[in-house]
Amino acid sequence: MEAHRHSTEEVCEEGLALYARALSGHRIPAAEAEPLPCLTTTGLLLPSLDVPGTLRPLPPALALPRLLRTIAQEIAERRQRETRLAESFVPLLALAEHEHRHRHSHSHSAAEQPPGFVLLDSLDRIDDAIRQAMLASSEEILTVQPGGKRPVSSLALALPKEQEMLSRGGRMRTLYQHTSRHDPAVLAHYEFLAGDVEVRTLDEVPDRLIVLDRAVAFIPANPERTTAVEIRHRPTVAHLATTFDRLWRLATPMYPEAAQQLPSDGVTPRQRAIAALLIEGHTDAVIADRLGLNIRTAREHIAKLAAALGSDSRAQLGYLIGQSGILEQKETDT
């Protein structure tokens, strides 16, 4: 038999065939299973207490839930890695907030700040810096807009600056959360713009981000977004742009052509996102915040998810999520 060529956490076709033989009543010598470590690693074959040197099969009714739990754990770990990637610039936010707290706003000198990083300590300074950077840019603007609905006044102020850049031949790519897909103000805003504009959405996005011509970036420096950091450090800007690109590839088109988010087995994409966060152990409040929902709406979705899976309790819901395969379905969709 050829050597095993895949992860020992997966069960190959040869392994399933040997497992089927064992279920049919055949005694499996331990030596015969040595080239197929996936059988013993996953616990499908166990040492026989009656006949030393042979293996006995774990009943399928016990084996399947064990394998499903393993898959659910792997999916949760992949989602955690994705979140860490999307939020990999958090240390920069901490640096900017530290600067804002411990130094007087107007006493900073250029020499006191890290090269390529400028703390903008008021909304006026933030708006002016972004406006100047947009005037100097001509190729591309990448934007992440977290949360749900955007104020109409904010959209109106952004419109002339965005249109001016688009008129110079630039392109615009924006990421929202799925909760913005049905916001009339957001949809109308992009209908007014003329040029190369695309909008996509995700279940979750990191904090607000603007990248211009992949040369300068802006990120918030405090939770209230009353201060910001202007970044011209090229490796950092390149990292932020690459993070955006990866999120963009995972996102669902919203404008100019919207892709439908179809339910799978009675479970909507938003409920699948909630299921993944439940598996990770988050509270209702954290889930609502991560997905841009109010807590009442989040709880309604959790209740609908529980009803769809036939769950009577929160503990049972976690088990049924892992057993149902809906998280695996989400990985396939993306």
Q: Return the HEC string of 244-299.
A: HHHHHHHCEEEECCCCCCCCECCECHHHHHHHHHHHCCCCHHHHHHHCCCCHHHHH
pLDDT one-digit tens code per residue, 232-241: 999 999 999 9
| Boundary-marking domain end, from 63, 84, 105 | 84
Final residue in a domain of this structure, among 225, 255, 285? 255
CB contact set of 139 (below 8 Å; sequence gap of 6+): 169, 170, 171, 213, 214
User: What pLDDT band is residue 332 in, cutting at 50, 70 and 90?
Assistant: very low
User: Do both 236 and 134 map to the same domain?
Assistant: yes
Residues 107 and 72 in one domain: no
Q: Can you read off the two tokens belonging to residue 47?
A: 């040492």
| Distances in whole angstroms, Cα of residue 19 to Cα of each of 10, 47, 126 | 13, 13, 64
State which of 39-48, 56-65, 225-234, 290-299 shows the largest mean pLDDT. 225-234
Same domain assignment for residues 250 and 110: yes
Regarding whether 287 and 159 lie in a shared domain, the answer is no
- The verdict on 127 and 238 lying in the same domain is yes
pLDDT tens digits along 170-220: 999 999 988 888 788 888 888 889 999 999 988 888 889 999 999 999 999
pTM of the model: 0.52
Owning domain of residue 59: 13-84
Q: Position of tokens 């976690």?
A: 318
Overall domain count for the chain: 3
pLDDT in tens, 227-272: 999 999 999 999 999 999 999 988 888 888 876 554 555 566 777 7
Token digits for 224? 């209230």
Take residue 122 and report the two structure tokens written for it: 């008021």
Same domain, 153 and 212: yes
